[in-house]
Homo-oligomer: A and B are copies of this chain.
Amino acid sequence: MEWISHSRILIVGLGLIGGSYARGLKRLGFHVSAIEKRQSAVDYALENHIIDDGYTTVEPEIVSSADAVIFALYPEVFRQWIAEYQQLFKPGAMITDVTGVKSCIVYDIQNMLRDDVEFIASHPMAGREVYGVENSDDAIFRGANFIVVPTEKNTAEGIRWIGSLGRILGFGRISVLSPEEHDEMIGYLSQLTHCIAVALMTCSDNEHLVDYTGDSFRDLTRIANINDLMWSELFMLNRESLLKYMDIFLDEFAALRDMIRDGRVDELREKMRLSTKRRAYFNK
């Protein structure tokens, strides 16, 4: 499927990311339908012209008329949806997702999927600490990273197609990782950081700290405002990579603690210089 403007797109799950995809794709001239169980989200999206049409149940004719289907669901719900409704897909339809974990679902879904449709996984690195279509905004994609996660089952055409989706939505850098590489990366860059923010936030119950804080604590705890249902599921589905990085971090942090406790200032400064040097990679 080429990205031509008479393509019909179906978005399943109209939260922050699904809603932001809808906004961006509708702005580009695509016909955008949505299936979302929350009636108020569908109403909001229709009233604000984020979608062309929306449904709270799986309408067969809407699924079977879509050239492309984007799933923005929690991982387990996504898997169940495919198992239950995949017979409705139009032959030749392209399917992608936005799921934050990959190896635990991509192979399963590709293995159960019909041969005449293609599922190519992707992950827009554009989460926010707010939720729902009411907070959606396709500006969050501008300059952000977009990860394409193909397997051996994917076609060159499918990989080109998903790269185009990332480009037309305004993402900055589009990279390709295997499901295993993706999950390892996400265990460190995203899941570990969320664990750290939660642990930092729960160290003190002093309600007055807001009167004294600078920006660094605010920055480190922005994501401590966390959707417990979504993130606990993501953590459990990527437990191995996450635990690996939690243990690496525990070792690094405990080493730093020991340097401070023992007054080993030279080693402490060496560690800070290493940190500064590595952070510079992220200034690009």
Contacts and interface: CB of A to CB of B under 8 A. Distances in A.
B196 A282 contact: no
Interface in A156-194: 173, 175, 177, 185, 188-190, 192-194
A209 B280 CA distance: 12
B257 A198 contact: no
Number of copies: 2
A217 B189 contact: yes
B202 A189 contact: no
A64 to B, nearest CB: 34
Contacts of A4: none
B196 A220 contact: yes
Given A236-B263, A278-B224, A252 B211 contact: no
B235 A268 contact: yes
Interface residues of A, number: 87
A262 to B, nearest CB: 10
Interface stretch (A6-14, A73-81, A240-248): A240-248
A263 to B, nearest CB: 7
Given A220-B193, A269-B232, A252 B199 contact: yes
